[in-house]
Amino acid sequence: MLDFILKMKPHRGSVNISYDPSLPPSSDPLEPSQGETLVQQINISSLKDPSFSSSLSLSAGKARHIYVCTHGTRDCRCGTVGTAVYDRFQACLDLHSLDVDAPEVQLRMIGHVGGHKYAGNVLDLPNGDWYGSVTADDAPAFLRALLSSSEALGVGSRSVQDDILLWSKWRGRMGMTNDEQLAYYEGQAISSAGTPFAKDISGSQKAALLSITFETHEGNKVILSAEKGRTLMSVAKEKELPGITGTCGGNLECATCHVYIEPSASGYMPQLSPPSEEEEDMLDYALLRSDSSRLGCQIQVTEELAHWCSGGGVIKLPKY
């Protein structure tokens, strides 16, 4: 299997299944169907000469693919809001009511893509842009704005009104890191007044560092310096503190940034915003949950939190 993967790498191919000829599979995906072979068999011997791919002619499809998450069995918000958005999109396409010269559009329902709280979630391919919080009411205007240019957001020529609408729904772009997406958004998004955002993303004015105290399950205290506004999850994960993995990246889709925030020895508690319904839902999956349990992705570093830590308060990390 490893040898096969290494052979495919120069051809930008991937391998997710292999078999031993001495152990025939119960059904053969390469078996001819109606006189035609569905898939040409590729094996290690056929990959020894990279020139075999030189005769291939690949061209990108011109169709626009719009995917809407309608996975109601995963989360009712996606099923309700996503389905309503999909239906409005379909109606607009059927009636040709968008008044745009768009290429072929393929509209499809898809399963879970993450970020239930952003329902309806819409993916625009091949541009790779993800959008969220699209509703049935703004679906026609959103789809018209999306298809008014074949280019990705921030590249194509759209009206100011269309740009405002799309940027307000933008969740990010495939292939970009978190930092690249943030820089792209802050560098190109426009305000409702029609003027570019002018946020300084160069880092020349760094936020003041605040001291936050964590305590491991074994009782070891770790004091970390963190910028104001960062989440406890990102601070702890960056320093690889035990018990914090943040698997979902802070999108409220897991409980792997579970922490305990209890009153200090003096009985003082920092002022924290109460957990949202989404946070409460995810905390149900936290092992050894208690009344002091919170998700680190929902707690930001503040001056008050730092003051609480300086007075003996600690962010306790879970055992698991």
Domain boundaries, the chain: 64-188, 209-316
Across the chain, mean pLDDT equals: 79
Q: What are phi and psi of 169, to 5 degrees?
A: -110, -5
In b/e form, how buried is each residue of 270-288, taking b as 16+ CB within 10 angstroms? beeeebeebbebbbeebee
What is the pLDDT, as a whole number, of residue 39?
47
The mean pLDDT of 27-40, rounded to a whole number, is 49
CATH of 64-188, one of 3.40.30.10, 3.40.50.12780, 3.30.990.10, 1.10.10.10: 3.40.30.10
The architecture that CATH gives domain 209-316 is Roll (3.10)
Q: Given a cut of 90, is residue 109 above it in pLDDT?
A: yes
What is the pLDDT, as a whole number, of residue 219?
92
Strand, helix or coil for residue 295:
strand
| pTM for the full predicted model | 0.47
What is the pLDDT, as a whole number, of residue 183?
83
pLDDT tens digits, one per residue of 134-172: 999 988 999 988 888 888 888 767 888 788 888 889 998
pLDDT tens digits, one per residue of 185-198: 877 754 444 444 43
Lowest-pLDDT choice from 133-142, 172-181, 218-227:
172-181
Question: Is the previous residue joined to 246 through a cis bond, with omega within 30 degrees of 0?
Answer: no
Q: Given a cut of 60, is residue 244 above it in pLDDT?
A: yes
Tell the residue number behind the tokens 């590249």, with chain if given. Answer: 155
